[in-house]
Structure 1
Amino acid sequence: MKILHAAETIKGGVATVITQLITNSSGKVDMYCLIPFQQQAELNTASCHKIFFQRKKRGILAFVLFFYNFTKLIWKIRPDIVHLHSSFAGFLGRISLVILYPWRRPKVVYCPHAFSFLISTSVFKKKCYIFIEKLLLIRTSKVICVSKFEKDQAIRHGLPQSKLEVIYNGVSIPADINGKEKADIENKIQLLYVGRFDYQKGFDIILELANRMNPDRFQLTVVGDFVNDHKYNIDNNLITYVGWLTSQELSNYYRNTHIVIVPSRWEGFAMVPLEAMSYKKVVIAANTTSLPEAVVDGETGYLFDIENIEQLISIVNKIDRKSLCEMGINGYQRYLHYFTSDVMTNNTIQLYNQLMIK
């Protein structure tokens, strides 16, 4: 089986998903990847044929180069399955495949990693996104939804259920999940935030939490940085900022924390809660979009109303160390059952095989 993965950008979760699908697939699968040259370091695997296109930033030139290289690659390698990742690749790739249909007819798997119409935007833009998604189903064998929430929303907006398949994101089992607290902060409960500093990720909520928590009892560490939006004032000595980290560096922070905060306003299916649970850490998350599918309130962590900062502050203030260990173990067991990279890969390969026999 010859499979082509294609993405207009692979920063963040997309790179994690593609890497795992390639690394964990059997030797009978011949993998190709079309990714930006400037982001090649994000794809941490040698088990595929990598083809690059130039993408210094998102724009018309990058789209044209992706479209050209994608079309040329389809013609040259004749893949059995094309797996398109995220909305822009999904749009450009399927347009190309419509044009090539008389000559090349691979099965097409499309994973938006959160539909564009789920983003908080104008009604007009949402209608445009929905129209495009419906139109391009003509050249789509299956759409992978990364959560039940995403599938339900797709059906609600008119996409046929027969085209939709739920496959949760997964993350690899850590080699070492045992951490040691630093001596100078051993009496404090460690809180961790991982993500962009923007509205979607709820970074403003993190800043509010920092201003209102007891610094004698809690220590808040933030991993990440701005991407586009620089409107937040991060001059706050109650927060320890460490910037973006490699996976290996980040693992140290997961090991040495007690609680991971995920205040996102919307997500496709966030990796951070899964990574936290893989390290047996309690997750406090907003009760938005797909997050309740990862975090079971009162069992593996806590959910709070995104519109109610007081509820989050109350949850944090009531945390006691005795409950953290039990909840962390519960979260780890849930992770092993639903959210490992092996589970995700097996479900995806099974989908590929089903498409090939149709």
Structure 2
Amino acid sequence: MKVLHVAEALKGGVETYLKSLVLSLKDRDVESFLLVKEDVSWLEKSHVYYYDHGSRSILGLFKLARMYLHLVKKLNVDIVHLHGTFSGLVCRLAKVFTRRVPIIYCSHGWAYSMDKKNLTKKFYQVTEYLLSFLCHKVVCISHYDFSIKVTPPNKTVLIENAITDHFSDEYVKPEGKKLLFVGRFDHQKGIDILLNAFKKVDANYELIVVGDAVHGNTISKMEYPNVSFLGWLSGEELKQAYLMSSAVIIPSRWEGFGLVALEAMSASRTIFTSGAGGLKHLTKITRGREFSNEQELIQLLEAFNNFDNNTIQKLGCIARNKFVEKYTVNRMAKELNELYMEVKL
């Protein structure tokens, strides 16, 4: 079976999702092709196609549509899998110009769940509803996304996110007590909320921050002498950052799912979250800790002073067990492959 994945915005969670999925689908005789604008190094070059994107302008989206139509014909694919709002918009509207090929769409977090004005949210909802009639199935990545869907129930399925497991079942004791943040320095990820709260806490542990600014959202790191800023890490370095931490904190303002939470769970680390979007379900099933405002966050950061090694290990093992039970990439690949087979018939 041939599947064409289209992602107008790849970097971040979508790339983590696609890399895990595509590599796992190889074992199920699914040949995957990518249409993207960013460089991809984890798939053979013959299966990756790029388009001259420029900006998110009418011209840029037209170039995406043109390359999409070309590849559907050239590759003779069996399934098209669209990732993200803009890919879903462009390629579903272009459906009228293609041969009949089943389309699956995943928003990777509804646009109307973001911190936007009500009128803007309503526009996104109406758009998603209307566009759902131009595809065969709509995939929701979390219980939260599924609960706020506006797409028809008979077209919408829940297939929760998953990641490749880079850790083992054996618990690794952290190096001292450390709290870890991983993510972009932007409004969505809430790094400002965390840093402002941490300044008000007399902590007996270290706050480790992995990530950096995007789109000019810089942080004056000198203002936070008790915080270790490590910049972007990947591969083995990121793995070690998880293992040296005692817990992982995710203060996002909105989140379709939250793959950092899965990475923490995989590493046997408990999660402290804002409960935004898909994070609420993950926090609940792992017996993590949730906060909804700055005062609750400060109280949680202070309470973490009293977490002993036994508590940290117990919560970490609960998180690991839930990950193995529900969030391995093999489960996600199996469910998506079954969906591919269903719509192909």
TM-score relative to the length of structure 2 = 0.92
1:168 is paired with a residue whose SS is: coil
Residues 164, 229 of structure 1: CA spacing in aligned structure 2 closer, same or farther, 3 A cutoff? farther
Corresponding position of 1:273? 261
Corresponding position of 2:72? 74
Corresponding position of 1:7? 7
Q: Residue type matched to 2:211 in 1?
A: G
Q: Tell me which of 292, 300, 322 is aligned to 1:334.
A: 322
Q: Residue type matched to 2:47 in 1?
A: H
2:39 is paired with a residue whose SS is: helix
Q: Distance in 2 between matches of 1:63 and 1:271?
A: 27
Give me the CA root mean square deviation. 2.1
Q: Are positions 1:204 and 2:192 aligned together?
A: yes
Partners of 1:273 and 1:283 within 8 A in 2? yes
1:334 is paired with a residue whose SS is: helix
The gaps in structure 2 that reach 5 residues or longer are none
Q: Distance in 2 between matches of 1:153 and 1:48?
A: 38
Partners of 1:258 and 1:282 within 8 A in 2? yes
Q: Residue type matched to 1:145 in 2?
A: C
1:31 is paired with a residue whose SS is: strand
Task: Provide Cα deviations, 1:302-357, integer angstroms capped at 9, x if missing partner.
Answer: 11224533343344234222201011111101000111111111111111112122
Q: How many residues align?
A: 341
TM-score relative to the length of structure 1 = 0.89
Partners of 1:53 and 1:66 within 8 A in 2? yes
Q: Residue type matched to 1:170 in 2?
A: A
Q: Tell me which of 252, 267, 270 is aligned to 1:264.
A: 252
Alpha-carbon shift at residue 178 of structure 1 (Å): 6.0
Residues 3, 27 of structure 1: CA spacing in aligned structure 2 closer, same or farther, 3 A cutoff? same
Q: Residue type matched to 1:3 in 2?
A: V
Task: Provide Cα deviations, 1:154-205, integer angstroms capped at 9, x if missing partner.
Answer: 1xxx4211111111111111155765755xxx4xx11100001122111112
Partners of 1:30 and 1:48 within 8 A in 2? no
Q: Are positions 1:313 and 2:301 aligned together?
A: yes
Q: Distance in 1 between matches of 2:247 and 2:156?
A: 34
Corresponding position of 1:227? 214
Q: Distance in 1 between matches of 2:61 and 2:178?
A: 43
Partners of 1:263 and 1:286 within 8 A in 2? yes
Partners of 2:275 and 2:283 within 8 A in 1? no
Partners of 2:266 and 2:323 within 8 A in 1? yes
Q: Distance in 1 between matches of 2:325 and 2:230?
A: 32
Partners of 2:212 and 2:232 within 8 A in 1? yes
The gaps in structure 1 that reach 5 residues or longer are none
